[in-house]
């Protein structure tokens, strides 16, 4: 029977949730595997597990319960090992890494920020900032719309200018929020978003970070900025970029996707 992993904690963690229900139907009992100074929160892995809402919530509920009294390194939904021995072996082999991460992430949460352009607003900006685009647009207007080639050229110029602004605006947004965070993880590019960045934030300083997001929205009204969190710090368990759990749909969200 394969083993499902919810998270990793110190073996001395005071409130690891043995016996509660985890993923699966019926829910598989949660248990604790200990190896030296570390412990893994696990259960049996049900066959054919899919990211259904019930199981996503079960995964997050186990992490919430486990993390209520101390730091837990969250594993992503669907983390499965061949058996218990495989997990304890990894805990032993990577003990220093996980202990360092437990120290670094203690008392911290993740906020994921995604942004894209408000189309009409960014087109106004592009027109205002480019004399060449303005002059060609005006020439086309005076010519009753312009020739086909002129229309194509104008469209290409606008598209190139908008694309350039995507990179500039993504960098500006990240710079605006970095001072209010302890660490940053840039996520993979995704269609429809010019920025996809996760920020590690001290739980007690979350209001400062949220205020920085609101200020960025005011300073860059041509951006639609969406925030998802607070989340367990999924993107900071391992080094490098990672896609945070949850699905942002506007505003500030909590809970599984």
Determine the pLDDT at residue 252. 36
> How do residues 148-199 score in pLDDT, each as one tens digit?
776 677 677 777 777 778 888 899 999 999 999 999 999 877 667 889 999 9
Of 237, 223, 225, nearest in space to 112 by CA:
225
Determine the pLDDT at residue 241. 32
> How do residues 116-128 score in pLDDT, each as one tens digit?
888 777 777 777 7
% residues pLDDT > 90 (the chain): 53
In terms of DSSP bridges, do strands 80-81 and 3-10 run parallel, antiparallel, or are they unpaired? antiparallel
With a cut of 70, which residues of the chain have pLDDT below it? 134-136, 138, 140, 142, 145-146, 150-151, 154, 190-191, 239-257
Determine the pLDDT at residue 126. 73
Of 68, 71, 16, 67, nearest in space to 42 by CA:
16
């Amino acid at each position: 029977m394969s083993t499902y992993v919810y998270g990793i904690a110190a073996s001395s963690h005071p409130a690891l949730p043995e016996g509660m229900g985890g993923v699966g139907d019926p829910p598989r009992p949660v248990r604790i595997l200990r190896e030296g100074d570390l412990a893994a929160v696990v259960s049996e892995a049900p066959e054919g597990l899919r990211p259904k809402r019930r199981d996503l919530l079960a995964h997050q509920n186990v992490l919430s319960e486990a993390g209520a009294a101390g730091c837990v390194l969250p594993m992503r939904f669907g983390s499965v090992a061949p058996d218990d021995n495989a997990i304890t072996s990894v805990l032993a082999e990577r003990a220093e890494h996980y202990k360092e991460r437990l120290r670094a992430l203690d008392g911290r949460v993740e906020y994921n920020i995604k942004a894209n352009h408000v189309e009409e607003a960014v087109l106004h900006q592009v027109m205002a900032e480019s004399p060449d685009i303005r002059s060609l647009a005006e020439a086309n207007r005076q010519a009753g719309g312009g020739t086909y080639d002129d229309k194509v050229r104008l469209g290409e110029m606008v598209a190139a200018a908008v694309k350039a602004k995507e990179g500039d605006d993504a960098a500006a947004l990240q710079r605006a929020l970095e001072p209010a965070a302890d660490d940053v993880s840039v996520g993979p590019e995704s269609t429809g978003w010019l920025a996809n960045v996760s920020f590690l934030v001290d739980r007690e300083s979350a209001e400062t970070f949220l205020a920085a997001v609101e200020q960025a929205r005011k300073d860059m009204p041509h951006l639609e900025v969406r925030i998802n969190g607070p989340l367990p710090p999924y993107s900071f368990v391992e080094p490098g970029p990672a896609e945070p759990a949850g699905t942002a749909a506007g505003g500030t969200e909590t809970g599984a996707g």
